Chains A and B, each alone.
Chain A
Amino acid sequence: MQPFTPLAELARGLRDREFSSRELTRSFLDRIRDHSATLNCFITVDEDRALAQADAADQRLAEGSATALTGIPIAHKDVFCTAGQRTTCGSRMLANFQAPYDATAVARLDAAGAVTLGKTNMDEFAMGSSNENSHFGPVANPWDPARVPGGSSGGSAAAVAAGLTPLATGTDTGGSIRQPAAFCGVTGIKPTYGRVSRYGMVAFASSLDQGGVFAASAAEAAVALAVMSGFDPLDSTSADQVDPWLNGLGDSHLAAPAEAPVIGLPRQYFEGLQDGGAALEDARRTLEEAGCRFVDVDLPHTDAAIPAYYIIAGAEASTNLSRYDGVRFGHRCENPRSLEDLYRRSRTEGFGAEVKRRILTGTYALSVGYFDAYYLKAQKLRRLIQNDFLAAFGSVDLILAPTTPGTAFPQGDLTDDPVAMYQQDIFTTPASLAGLPAMSVPCGFADGLPLGLQLIGPHFGERAVLETAALYQQHTDWHTRHPEAYA
């Protein structure tokens, strides 16, 4: 079985009984095993469970009740709860935690017949931009194992890039799908806030967290997104909004946009660019040739996104993570001497340095005397950033921007400089704060490392984002390039 076979080919092969889901699953499990030592993409691989799901899928395929994803292997970021399997969130705190429930996104993919290969590595509690903050060790970038894959969904991005799985779920709070997608040369989409249920997704920052998916192309990402998304009564912030286009996608190929979109180029996003200016210029030309029109747009509050994001995300995280107290589940220190001691040592031992940093900054931002100056002010900035986008979408259908300031950086480069690390998210946090759909697609290379371009759409504008990405991918082949070691 060839890795990197397009999803549609896999689905056709399964339907035509050219190979079984068990065979397909087995081949990916073998690849995962072969590359686990170098990449460290997976925290948990459960072969028996995967093969059992594959057998069930084979039965469905035989019965003719298959969907576009029946029998297709997928990996889940270890932030999604999967019943009967551990969900660690990359943390010592949850190293042995087993949820008695499935995340809604997982349950929907399961119901469609997707086969779960395993749970991918990630920055602890999804906090990080390099996947170096995992209790289970860093993930290597398949294009250069000395470099980071990006984060926090680094395991998922690297696994798709290395052909260890055709699809992988991720979550994006401030760029955690788009940035690793760019660093690993794969396609990744963060849908509109509310599009994918957060139920069963371990919370980092509730008002920003959004589930999404990595794939080899926009068309393939759309197939998985269609299954994952939709209203969920278990998540009050889930959008009660039906998208007939998305739900009707099935495994049909994405059509080009009916009308070529007007695309905005935000000046502010190109000023701090280190690598990729030329690649973005090429992308622009390609899309222009395909009929798109480009105009300049102004997003004047872009600079405020990083501070606003780190205050809001930290504030929410500081209380979301209060439940990890050693009392009911998760890591508990040995022989606590008192309640205070139980809390202090369980949390000191269970959390890594970056998680502690965010809890402390977030707690500070919510404290009496600082609340107005930090939390409230950050919320006001968030509103201004949202308004920037709303104003821009008055005249354009989409926004095109770089995903990251540069290419994947060497492991260890930024670990001692949290502020520099946070600056990695400069182009991804604005869309997160505004709750907008945004995706990263491969658009070239700099020094042999992949580059990503970001498409940002208006709320619930996934169709324009995905169709335009598909249009771009019809005219380019960056998304079909694979790291040599894994081809």
Chain B
Amino acid sequence: MSWEAVIGLEVHVQLATRSKIFSGASTAFGAEPNSQACAVDLGLPGVLPVVNGEAVRMAVKFGLAIGAEIAPFSVFDRKNYFYPDLPKGYQISQFAHPIVGRGELAVAMPDGSEKIVGITRAHLEEDAGKSVHDAYAGMTGIDLNRAGTPLLEVVSEPDIRTPEEAAAYFRQMHTLVRYLGICDGNLAEGSMRCDANVSVRERGAAEFGVRTEIKNINSFRFVERAIAYEIERQIDVLESGGRIVRETRLYDHERDETRSMRTKEESDDYRYFPDPDLLPVHIDQALLEAVREELPELPAARRHRYVETLGLSAYDAGWLTQEPETAAYFEAVVAAGGDAKLSANWVMGELSAALNRDERAITDSPVTPDQLAGLIARLQDDTLSSRTAKTLFEGLWAGEGEVDEIIEARGLKQVSDTGELKAIVERVVADNPGQVEQFRAGKDKVLGFFVGQVMKATQGKANPKQVNELLQEALKP
């Protein structure tokens, strides 16, 4: 039987506000436990939440970026449950009336194609605190620094069909929120987490199968692996005559498997109702227009522009636009005169490799866009060969100076003087009579040997095209 997976993702985006969603406490990561929890975050008696306007604005920005309808009035609800790291005994969230309605995301797939994934809704909510289970023997510590951190929960339609698409969707979401500047995108610090709803069905079936929810996945790779595992598991269960139980599962990346956490049958009644401490959030036309003005060029539009006006491949366009900083760098190289395709090759190749090797951010690159554009210009005017260009790049990376200074200092200029080259070529031909014999006997491959010899003699600085021409001339019988 042929199976098809149906996947929907819920992505929790931690909004990059300076203070919390309902209090003035700082949201900075990594502080001493409970040093960033004020009376509101602690849920002390009598204190009240006041919504952070910046969080609302960021949610609106996200909504506009996915082409969604922004609710003129959205409502904060209380989601009631007891847990030690939930100080008030309820989480303030949006249930019946979320701020962002239906929209869609154009996802760049690794093969350069694009997939449109529907977004059902996005709503604002506060994060809970953190339970620390390993610090005190027999006891659990509670750190409420994270309590009240603003989250935007983005719920996708079940439009995703493969683990690869799921990872690409998560990555695209990451790209989008970083473009919008509403999230720092730091997965290691939990700034983005996702829950995956996964079911399988016979290919072509109209109905969805029973789904499971994999909770709290925090890396692109794990999304793909967790879902891949879960699909396999579900198919195995169904093919061996079992049935899927609706449940919450956890992904254990060390064992690369998902495990049952709790079944939905025993799930809580959250007793949602509108939080009487907060008024409905009103978004007026003026705010919508103001936020719309702030929208940057979005990843999909930029991707399309790179293909259509810069002539890049869809793959390159996708690669370059993934991080706004990379795209900005690339565009600076092009703006400084760099040929678009060569600029793309150098950013994706040499520069990216060097950045990875030295673990540097592109915004912290020792080679500036202007220098890289200068390097490309010297390649194009035949001053450099691709080999000497790499040497130049190393010089630039090491901070040895500007492009032409390094070419001069390191003697990287291609030998294009015909007289000088001709003399070298003639000497090489004279020194290797055996190979000359072979070439003349029709063994064309030997030409490579001669090119190599000439290059060696010029320390790689000879213009390969000229070398070829001169050798052909000199080797003529």
Verify if A99 is at the interface (C-beta below 8 Å from B). yes
Verify if A207 is at the interface (C-beta below 8 Å from B). yes
Verify if B411 is at the interface (C-beta below 8 Å from A). no
A 308-330 contacts with B by CB, 8 A? 315-316, 319, 321-323, 325, 327-329
Could you tell me the distance in whole angstroms from the C-beta of A209 to the nearest C-beta in chain B? Answer: 9
Verify if B278 is at the interface (C-beta below 8 Å from A). yes
How far is A325 from B83 in the complex, measured between Cα atoms in Å?
9
Main secondary structure of the interface of B (DSSP, over half): loop
Contact present for A203 and B46 (CB under 8 Å): yes
Could you tell me the distance in whole angstroms from the C-beta of A80 to the nearest C-beta in chain B? Answer: 8
Chain B contact-residue range equals 20 to 34
A322-B88, A322-B90 are contacts. A237–B279 as well, Cβ < 8 Å? yes
Contact present for B271 and A323 (CB under 8 Å): no
Chain A residue at minimal CB-CB distance from B268: A368
A319-B78, A322-B89, A366-B80 are contacts. A328–B42 as well, Cβ < 8 Å? yes
Contact present for B269 and A367 (CB under 8 Å): yes
Residue from A99, A205, A321 whose CB has the most chain B CB atoms within 10 Å: A99
Verify if B242 is at the interface (C-beta below 8 Å from A). no
Chain A 64-102 near chain B by CB (<8 Å), digits 1 or 0: 000000000000000011000001010000100101110
- On chain B, the residues within 8 Å of A367 by CB distance are 269, 271
A236-B50, A343-B82, A366-B80 are contacts. A94–B89 as well, Cβ < 8 Å? no
Verify if A473 is at the interface (C-beta below 8 Å from B). no
Chain A residue at minimal CB-CB distance from B45: A202
Contact present for A366 and B277 (CB under 8 Å): no
Verify if B47 is at the interface (C-beta below 8 Å from A). yes
Could you tell me the distance in whole angstroms from the C-beta of A173 to the nearest C-beta in chain B? Answer: 12
How far is A153 from B43 in the complex, measured between Cα atoms in Å?
24
How far is A235 from B47 in the complex, measured between Cα atoms in Å?
8
How far is A207 from B275 in the complex, measured between Cα atoms in Å?
9
How far is A327 from B82 in the complex, measured between Cα atoms in Å?
11
Could you tell me the distance in whole angstroms from the C-beta of A251 to the nearest C-beta in chain B? Answer: 29
- On chain B, the residues within 8 Å of A319 by CB distance are 78, 80, 89-90, 271, 273
Contact present for B276 and A94 (CB under 8 Å): no
A322-B82, A323-B88 are contacts. A203–B45 as well, Cβ < 8 Å? yes
Chain B 36-73 near chain A by CB (<8 Å), digits 1 or 0: 00010011111111110000000000000000000000
Verify if A103 is at the interface (C-beta below 8 Å from B). yes
Chain A residue at minimal CB-CB distance from B43: A323
- On chain A, the residues within 8 Å of B47 by CB distance are 101, 199-200, 234
How far is A227 from B42 in the complex, measured between Cα atoms in Å?
29
Contact present for B46 and A206 (CB under 8 Å): no
How far is A235 from B22 in the complex, measured between Cα atoms in Å?
11
- Select A206's contact among B42, B142, B276, beta carbons within 8 Å: B276
Verify if B98 is at the interface (C-beta below 8 Å from A). no
Could you tell me the distance in whole angstroms from the C-beta of A97 to the nearest C-beta in chain B? Answer: 7
Verify if A375 is at the interface (C-beta below 8 Å from B). yes
- Select A328's contact among B48, B49, B87, B278, beta carbons within 8 Å: B87
Verify if B181 is at the interface (C-beta below 8 Å from A). no
A81-B45, A81-B46 are contacts. A316–B89 as well, Cβ < 8 Å? no
- On chain A, the residues within 8 Å of B50 by CB distance are 233-236
How far is A237 from B49 in the complex, measured between Cα atoms in Å?
10
How far is A367 from B142 in the complex, measured between Cα atoms in Å?
29
Contact present for B89 and A366 (CB under 8 Å): no
Verify if A116 is at the interface (C-beta below 8 Å from B). no
How far is A236 from B48 in the complex, measured between Cα atoms in Å?
8
Verify if A165 is at the interface (C-beta below 8 Å from B). no
Chain A residue at minimal CB-CB distance from B275: A206
Contact present for A206 and B277 (CB under 8 Å): yes
How far is A205 from B273 in the complex, measured between Cα atoms in Å?
13
- On chain B, the residues within 8 Å of A22 by CB distance are none
Could you tell me the distance in whole angstroms from the C-beta of B391 to the nearest C-beta in chain A? Answer: 63
Could you tell me the distance in whole angstroms from the C-beta of B357 to the nearest C-beta in chain A? Answer: 48
Could you tell me the distance in whole angstroms from the C-beta of B91 to the nearest C-beta in chain A? Answer: 11
Chain A residue at minimal CB-CB distance from B80: A319
- Select A234's contact among B43, B48, B84, B276, beta carbons within 8 Å: B48
Contact present for B44 and A325 (CB under 8 Å): no
- On chain B, the residues within 8 Å of A322 by CB distance are 80, 82, 88-90
B 72-120 contacts with A by CB, 8 A? 78, 80, 82, 84, 87-90
- Select B87's contact among A321, A323, A363, beta carbons within 8 Å: A323
- On chain A, the residues within 8 Å of B39 by CB distance are 99-101
How far is A343 from B42 in the complex, measured between Cα atoms in Å?
17
Contact present for B276 and A316 (CB under 8 Å): yes
- Select A236's contact among B44, B80, B90, B278, beta carbons within 8 Å: B278
- On chain B, the residues within 8 Å of A101 by CB distance are 39, 44, 46-47
Chain B 260-288 near chain A by CB (<8 Å), digits 1 or 0: 00000000010101011111000000000
B 6-52 contacts with A by CB, 8 A? 39, 42-51
- On chain B, the residues within 8 Å of A343 by CB distance are 82
- On chain B, the residues within 8 Å of A207 by CB distance are 276
Verify if A485 is at the interface (C-beta below 8 Å from B). no
Could you tell me the distance in whole angstroms from the C-beta of A233 to the nearest C-beta in chain B? Answer: 7
Contact present for A199 and B45 (CB under 8 Å): no
Verify if A270 is at the interface (C-beta below 8 Å from B). no
- Select B45's contact among A235, A323, A339, A366, beta carbons within 8 Å: A323
How far is A475 from B130 in the complex, measured between Cα atoms in Å?
63
Chain B residue at minimal CB-CB distance from A101: B39
Could you tell me the distance in whole angstroms from the C-beta of B23 to the nearest C-beta in chain A? Answer: 10
How far is A203 from B446 in the complex, measured between Cα atoms in Å?
92
- On chain B, the residues within 8 Å of A94 by CB distance are 45
How far is A363 from B50 in the complex, measured between Cα atoms in Å?
25
- On chain A, the residues within 8 Å of B80 by CB distance are 319, 322, 366
A367-B269, A368-B269 are contacts. A328–B45 as well, Cβ < 8 Å? no
Chain B residue at minimal CB-CB distance from A100: B39
- On chain B, the residues within 8 Å of A97 by CB distance are 45
Contact present for B49 and A236 (CB under 8 Å): yes
Contact present for A236 and B51 (CB under 8 Å): yes
Chain A 228-269 near chain B by CB (<8 Å), digits 1 or 0: 000001111100000000000000000000000000000000
Chain B residue at minimal CB-CB distance from A315: B273
How far is A375 from B274 in the complex, measured between Cα atoms in Å?
11
Verify if A305 is at the interface (C-beta below 8 Å from B). no
Verify if A195 is at the interface (C-beta below 8 Å from B). no
Contact present for A325 and B46 (CB under 8 Å): no
How far is A100 from B48 in the complex, measured between Cα atoms in Å?
14
- Select B82's contact among A87, A103, A199, A325, beta carbons within 8 Å: A325
- On chain B, the residues within 8 Å of A205 by CB distance are 276
Contact present for A89 and B88 (CB under 8 Å): no
Contact present for A199 and B84 (CB under 8 Å): no
- Select B43's contact among A201, A316, A328, beta carbons within 8 Å: A328
Given A199-B48, A363-B271, A367-B271, 4 further pairs, Cβ under 8 A: A99-B39, A200-B46, A319-B78, A319-B80
Name B residues whose Cβ lies closer than 8 Å to a Cβ of A: 39, 42-51, 78, 80, 82, 84, 87-90, 142, 269, 271, 273, 275-279
Closest 7 CB pairs of A and B: A322-B89, A206-B276, A207-B276, A366-B271, A323-B43, A202-B45, A200-B46
Query: Can you list 28 residue pairs at the A/B interface with Cβ under 8 Å?
Result: A81-B45, A81-B46, A89-B45, A94-B45, A99-B46, A100-B44, A101-B46, A101-B47, A199-B48, A203-B277, A206-B276, A233-B50, A235-B50, A236-B50, A236-B277, A316-B276, A322-B88, A322-B89, A323-B45, A323-B87, A323-B89, A325-B82, A325-B84, A327-B142, A366-B80, A366-B273, A367-B269, A375-B273
Name A residues whose Cβ lies closer than 8 Å to a Cβ of B: 80-81, 87, 89, 94, 97, 99-101, 103, 198-203, 205-207, 233-237, 315-316, 319, 321-323, 325, 327-329, 339, 343, 363, 366-368, 371, 375
